[in-house]
């Protein structure tokens, strides 16, 4: 007599009235097909029920079970979400079968015992025999005309509205704002951005020169070449404008990152003046606003959409297609892919489609968005996706008050340690990686579909070593959790005050100085109805979902003790990092930084396990 415990999902619509049967398969035989039926309703929401399966002989080690679903009493079939099944043998040995997926209509589903197992010659069939392992679909209702008033209840938003014109805050946002990966060290002035010592002498002060500061490593640059000649769209029947600016910044003796010069095109000349802090007030404010507008497009299209949402979808789709449920990497990755398909489907319907939010209310429109995405995809590299390598490549590892960097490195190390522990359990050497054809198929699909087989990306179509595998999987999990939080969670904080993050510009970049005042500045930035539409979108995108936080695994895919211990250690490390971040944030007013704002976006309790919003 075998005891079978069956758990139904604990959310709406997970129950079923259909008939569920089970077949146990062991090393010594299999059981008869047995209907799971107790008195009353069996598979209600949250049900955990025990059933008996009778066999004439010992089945040996239980390695597989089959679930069978049949329509009951000719009623309309209902979908059923099975969380897990536990089988206990007559000898008291328990076998765990994680499921966490739907059964639709009538049919059968095979589940393997929960012990992680990389590829062996005996396992090749039924890789695709599973429904998407997701529960209730996340919803993203966009009420573009229903946003009435906004109360500035958040400290960061209040700060933005009061300090958006200040140079120190402008520089701070390149470190700890929505797009903290654009800035890089400048070792020589680019020929298409002819900034001279005379231009910046006043900003640098009397005791130094531009050349000296370049040699010291105190000059940084932000270049939006990605946006050059991107076609602009129409909003309310009016042509919009896009700039591809360059911005030079200086790390002052007080460790404040200050803008030195801004050029609003990639081509210097009489019609492309270099704007300076010493210019007329509104000339300088408008130049900075053009940079913030460029940052809006680079952030939304590349840093947010491409480098988190779309990449996470590639990793998830390849895993669903190529990795069976018993594969250890499926168990490792699937919690970090929760709701990713759903949110991206909704984004394609409401946000990035023709007639969607970005088409109607941003300067790039639909065609421009596609162009920016194509350029961003061609520029993708493994280095840019791995935080330690990216910081080194951009020359910003030593920048002070760079809280995105500080917190991100701690979290990268925590994820890397967790991933390394899991990999060491299942891949003892490089040969075990090379011989896992399911793993190699997953990577091949990621390379071809996600990175378009571009060798320039620095990504290979296969893994040759344990070290390569650990690094890549660390990047996959970090991208869908930590990096997404960094570029998503603060959108309302930094973008609700529209002049700080405008989605469009109604007039072309100024070709001369001395022509801007408060009135024509307001005529350049978006209209009120456009602002309200974008504002409501940013609110919805950055609102916390309260779903599953980083390091929490409510669906138990790993059933062995060793990976469970690694999960517990990962969770403890995240708690330690959280305490450090919270203490740092409390101490910021005493640390001499330019902006006394707590950086909260990489505090582990604020990070979701996956791209789910």
Q: Which distant-in-sequence residues (6+ apart) come within 8 Å of 483 by Cβ?
A: 307, 308, 387, 408
Q: Give per-residue pLDDT as tens, 26-75.
A: 999 999 999 999 998 899 999 999 999 999 999 999 999 999 999 876 56
Q: Considering the domain boundaries, does residue 499 fall inside one?
A: no
Q: What is the mean pLDDT of residues 177-201?
A: 98
Q: Considering the domain boundaries, does residue 250 fall inside one?
A: no
Q: Considering the domain boundaries, does residue 197 fall inside one?
A: no
Q: Considering the domain boundaries, does residue 340 fall inside one?
A: yes
Predicted TM-score of the model (pTM): 0.88
Sole residue written with tokens 């296969």: 462
Q: Considering the domain boundaries, does residue 147 fall inside one?
A: no
User: pLDDT value at position 446?
Assistant: 98
N-term to C-term CA, the chain: 46
Q: Considering the domain boundaries, does residue 11 fall inside one?
A: yes
Of 152 and 182, more confident: 182
The last residue of one of the domains, among 78, 93, 112, is 112
Q: Give per-residue pLDDT as tens, 522-548.
A: 999 999 999 999 999 999 998 877 678
User: pLDDT value at position 410?
Assistant: 99
Q: What is the mean pLDDT of residues 492-500?
A: 96
The last residue of one of the domains, among 57, 90, 112, is 112
How far, in Å, CA of 76 to CA of 264, rounded? 62
Q: Give per-residue pLDDT as tens, 167-180.
A: 999 999 999 999 99
CATH number, domain containing residue 384: 1.20.245.10
The number of folded domains in the chain is: 2
Q: What is the mean pLDDT of residues 470-482?
A: 99
Q: Considering the domain boundaries, does residue 99 fall inside one?
A: yes
Q: Considering the domain boundaries, does residue 385 fall inside one?
A: yes
Q: Give per-residue pLDDT as tens, 83-113.
A: 999 999 999 999 999 999 999 888 999 998 8
CATH number, domain containing residue 63: 2.60.60.20
Q: Which distant-in-sequence residues (6+ apart) come within 8 Å of 529 by Cβ?
A: 236
Q: Give per-residue pLDDT as tens, 555-613.
A: 999 999 999 999 999 999 999 999 999 999 999 876 666 777 889 999 999 999 999 98
Q: What is the mean pLDDT of residues 374-383?
A: 97
The last residue of one of the domains, among 87, 112, 137, is 112
203 and 516 Cβ atoms separated by less than 8 Å: no
User: What's the mean pLDDT when you consider all of the chain?
Assistant: 92
User: Is it the case that residue 386 has pLDDT exceeding 70?
Assistant: yes
Of the listed ranges 373-382, 435-444, 504-513, 543-552, the one predicted with least confidence: 543-552
Residue 480 sits in which domain range?
A: 303-490+555-606
266 and 244 Cβ atoms separated by less than 8 Å: yes
Q: What is the mean pLDDT of residues 137-146?
A: 30
Q: What is the mean pLDDT of residues 443-471?
A: 97
DSSP 101-115: EEE-SSEEEEEE-SS
How far, in Å, CA of 33 to CA of 35, rounded? 7
Q: pLDDT exceeding 70 applies to what percent of the chain?
A: 92
**Triad 373, 503, 161: Cα angle to 5°:** 135
Buried b (16+ CB within 10 A) or exposed e, 345-372: ebbeebbbeeebbbbbbbbbbbebbebb
User: Is it the case that residue 77 has pLDDT exceeding 90?
Assistant: no
């Amino acid at each position: 007599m075998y005891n079978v415990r069956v758990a139904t999902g604990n959310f709406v619509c997970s129950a079923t009235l259909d008939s569920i049967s089970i077949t146990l398969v062991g090393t010594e035989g299999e059981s008869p097909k047995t209907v799971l039926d107790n008195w009353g309703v069996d598979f209600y929401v949250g049900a955990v029920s025990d059933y008996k399966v009778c066999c004439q002989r010992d089945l040996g080690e239980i390695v597989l079970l089959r679930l069978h679903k049949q329509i009951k009493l000719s009623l309309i079939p209902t979908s059923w979400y099975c969380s897990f099944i536990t089988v206990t043998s007559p000898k008291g040995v328990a076998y765990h079968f994680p499921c966490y997926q739907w059964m639709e209509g009538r049919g059968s589903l095979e589940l393997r015992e929960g012990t992680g197992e990389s590829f062996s010659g005996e396992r090749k069939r039924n890789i695709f025999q599973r429904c998407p392992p997701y529960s209730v679909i996340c919803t993203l209702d966009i009420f573009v005309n229903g946003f009435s008033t906004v109360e500035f209840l958040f400290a960061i938003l209040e700060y933005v509205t009061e300090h958006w014109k200040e140079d120190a805050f402008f520089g701070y946002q390149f470190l700890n704002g929505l797009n903290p990966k654009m800035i890089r060290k400048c070792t020589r002035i680019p020929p298409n951005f002819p900034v001279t010592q005379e231009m910046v002498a006043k900003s640098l002060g009397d005791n130094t020169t531009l050349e000296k500061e370049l040699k010291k490593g105190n000059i940084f640059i932000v270049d939006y070449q990605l946006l050059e000649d991107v076609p602009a769209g129409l909003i309310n029947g009016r042509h919009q404008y896009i700039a591809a600016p360059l911005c030079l910044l200086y790390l002052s003796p007080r460790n404040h990152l200050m803008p030195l010069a801004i050029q609003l095109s990639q081509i210097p000349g009489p019609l492309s003046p270099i704007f300076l802090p010493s210019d007329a007030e509104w000339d300088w404010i408008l130049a900075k606003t053009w940079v913030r507008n460029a940052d809006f497009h680079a952030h939304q299209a590349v840093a947010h959409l491409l480098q988190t949402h779309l990449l996470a979808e590639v990793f998830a789709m390849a895993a669903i297609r190529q990795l069976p449920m018993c594969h250890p990497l499926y168990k490792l990755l699937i919690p970090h892919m929760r709701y990713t398909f759903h949110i991206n489907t909704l984004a394609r319907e409401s946000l990035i489609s023709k007639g969607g939010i970005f088409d109607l209310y941003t300067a790039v429109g639909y065609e421009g968005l596609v162009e920016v995405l194509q350029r961003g995809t061609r520029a993708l590299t493994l280095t840019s996706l791995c935080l330690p390598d990216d910081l080194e490549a951009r020359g910003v590892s030593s920048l002070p008050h760079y809280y995105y960097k500080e917190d991100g490195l701690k979290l990268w190390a925590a994820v890397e340690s967790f991933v390394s522990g899991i990999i060491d359990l299942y891949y003892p050497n490089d040969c075990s990686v090379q011989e896992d054809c399911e793993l190699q198929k997953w990577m091949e699909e990621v390379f071809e579909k996600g990175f378009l087989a571009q060798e320039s990306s620095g990504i290979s179509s296969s893994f040759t070593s344990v070290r390569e595998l650990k690094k890549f999987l660390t990047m996959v999990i970090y991208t869908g959790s930590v990096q997404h939080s960094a570029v998503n969670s603060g959108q309302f904080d930094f973008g609700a005050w529209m002049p700080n993050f405008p989605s469009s510009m109604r007039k072309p970049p100024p070709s001369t100085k001395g022509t801007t005042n408060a009135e024509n500045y307001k005529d350049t930035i978006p209209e009120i109805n456009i602002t309200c539409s974008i504002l409501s979108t940013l609110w919805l995108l950055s609102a916390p979902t309260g779903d599953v936080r980083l390091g929490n695994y409510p669906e138990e895919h790993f059933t062995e003790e060793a990976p469970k211990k690694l999960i517990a250690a990962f969770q403890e490390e995240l708690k330690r990092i959280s305490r450090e971040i919270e203490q740092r944030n409390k101490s910021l007013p005493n640390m001499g930084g330019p902006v006394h704002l707590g950086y909260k976006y990489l505090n582990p309790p604020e990070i979701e396990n996956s791209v789910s919003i």
